[in-house]
Structure 1
Amino acid sequence: MQIGAFVLHLTRAEKRRANAHKLKNTSGLDAEIWPAVDGRALPSSDIAEILREQIFEPRYPFPLKTGEIGCFLSHRQIWAEIVRRGIPAGFIIEDDAGLEPGRFKNALTLAIDNIARLGYIQFQTRAPKEPRFLVDSAGGCALTVPQQGGLRTTAQMVSLEAAEHLLDLSRSIDRPVDTFVQSHWFTGLRPAVVYPSGVLEIGDTLDGSTIQGGRKPLLEKLRRELSRGKYRNAVTRLSRHSEAPCRGGLHG
């Protein structure tokens, strides 16, 4: 199967550039560096055109940072490129990731063998929540479909069909891309997870996050934690009752 591979790299994040090229050269795929959308540089008119207050339940409780908007648009660009090229699937990895070569190779094989049916496979850096459906396993890696999808977009594989589907549903956005992908009660596509995946989070050893929020007063932190807890509870409830196929994919 032909797999496109894209290393998302924010041009101004110079401390990540060497790592982006390392990922390109060690992924085992014919990868390319994809310039990420710089949310800071987006005109306010462009942001207003795509951003909405609420598109579906639950309402996302926080204003989106410009970095989060840029990240979402970056993933949309790659979904669109997968569709434009007509390639069966694309692997997307962000420039703050690291790889454990042996384990990643096993995870990659699992994903390639199952992406046509599952549509969206996350290469997670944290264990998925239970309950989950076991699809396949190999070399110490398990490919599962959790009832509740995980967050993070460190690395993932997206099929052509899923890319087209997610593009259509994200013409306007109201939350970060990882929470959008998690929302299978809206998208109809329950993301699968391979874990361990051989993908590591190493942003802190590079230059930290490119999506900065700044320091907040204690009362504001408490309010945010309450809002976050309420949102997570709603996600758990909606995940439990979602009509998205419990074994992954758009068609079950």
Structure 2
Amino acid sequence: MEFPPIYILSLKGAQRFAPLVEALEARGLDYEIFWGIDGRERLPKAYEPRVDRAGAEARMGRPMSDGEFACALSHRGIYERIAAGDAPSAIVLEDDADPSLPFFDLGPALVNPPCGLLLFDHKNTYVRVRDRLILPGGVQAFRVALPPFLATGYMVSREVAAHLAFRNGPVVQPSDWPDAILQFDSYACDPRVITQRGRAVGTSSLEAGRRKHRHRRRKSLRRLLYKAYWRRWMTKRLARKLA
């Protein structure tokens, strides 16, 4: 089966990829395990120049945890690998990704990417319903109106990977998703063809890190004074929420 290159993001101390690897190998698909940065206890000092802690807190209204910074930097590491390769697109899966049967039907249609970014899994997703792609396996994809949550699984073109890796500045938000994706043809699958294994029964290590340090978003009525707040408010009301 023809498929874009597949990268599985995992940590050496928390290998959860066995079920995912089994599903890929059952269909004869090649993959590469990409060892990410482990920031569950602390972000290694070597990576501090690549993050902007003050900028992240100003942008998100709360401090980002070291685990969130490490995860975002790990995804960037994969983008660098994709940008340096020859393939026009690649698929990135976190090690707890659980692919459905339609995911495997999509692969051949993604070798030559139909868009810059295609989100297989997503949450809090607002889309423009009049701008859609018809994909194999009864899957549709709608253009993203606002950056959603979750980076469990997605296809990214080499050009978009290069931008996210080298031209998006220091990390100021988690891996799910930078505002920069709105500059490109970014779409979200409906229905989702990847889910996050165990999402309903447990707490992720990133969420655990936020709770440990009490990193909660601070809301202030001052946000009502900013044009960006009202632009987002209007975009939500003109868009459709998928998930």
2: CA distance, partners of 1:178 / 1:235: 19
Q: Secondary structure at the match of 1:68?
A: helix
Q: 1:222-233 residue pairs with structure 2 within 5 A?
A: 224=217, 226=219
Per the alignment, residue 8 of structure 1 pairs with 9
Deviation at 1:123, TM superposition (A): 0.5
Per the alignment, residue 147 of structure 2 pairs with 149
Change in CA separation of 1:190 and 1:61 when aligned onto 2, cut-off 3 Å: farther
Deviation at 1:42, TM superposition (A): 5.9
Change in CA separation of 1:147 and 1:25 when aligned onto 2, cut-off 3 Å: same
Q: Which of 120, 123, 138 is residue 120 of structure 2 equivalent to?
A: 123
Once structures 1 and 2 are overlaid, which stretch shifts more, 77-86 or 119-128? 119-128
Gaps of 5+ in 2: 236-243
- Alpha carbons 1:122, 1:194 under 8 Å: kept: yes
Q: 1:80-159 residue pairs with structure 2 within 5 A?
A: 80-101=80-101, 103-112=102-111, 115=113, 117-126=114-123, 128-132=125-129, 133-159=131-157
Q: Which amino acid is 1:79 matched to?
A: Y
Per the alignment, residue 50 of structure 1 pairs with 50
1: CA distance, partners of 2:7 / 2:31: 6
- Alpha carbons 1:125, 1:197 under 8 Å: kept: yes
2: CA distance, partners of 1:237 / 1:159: 28
- Alpha carbons 1:123, 1:156 under 8 Å: kept: yes
- Alpha carbons 2:3, 2:108 under 8 Å: kept: no
Deviation at 1:80, TM superposition (A): 0.8
Per the alignment, residue 237 of structure 1 pairs with 231
2: CA distance, partners of 1:61 / 1:151: 16
Per the alignment, residue 238 of structure 2 pairs with none
2: CA distance, partners of 1:71 / 1:27: 28
Per the alignment, residue 39 of structure 2 pairs with 39
Q: Secondary structure at the match of 2:59?
A: coil
Q: Secondary structure at the match of 2:63?
A: coil
Q: Secondary structure at the match of 1:177?
A: coil
Per the alignment, residue 241 of structure 2 pairs with none
- Alpha carbons 1:144, 1:194 under 8 Å: kept: yes
Provide TM-score, normalisation by structure 1. Answer: 0.74
2: CA distance, partners of 1:214 / 1:151: 16
CA deviation string 1:86-109 (max 9, x = no partner): 2211100011111222x2123434
Provide TM-score, normalisation by structure 2. Answer: 0.76
Q: Secondary structure at the match of 1:134?
A: strand
Q: Which of 204, 207, 219 is residue 209 of structure 1 equivalent to?
A: 204
Per the alignment, residue 169 of structure 1 pairs with 167
Q: Greater share of helix residues, 1 or 2?
A: 1
Gaps of 5+ in 1: 242-252
1: CA distance, partners of 2:48 / 2:200: 34
Q: Which of 178, 188, 191 is residue 186 of structure 2 equivalent to?
A: 191
- Alpha carbons 1:120, 1:158 under 8 Å: kept: yes
What is the aligned-residue identity percentage?
24
Q: Secondary structure at the match of 1:179?
A: coil
Change in CA separation of 1:170 and 1:126 when aligned onto 2, cut-off 3 Å: closer
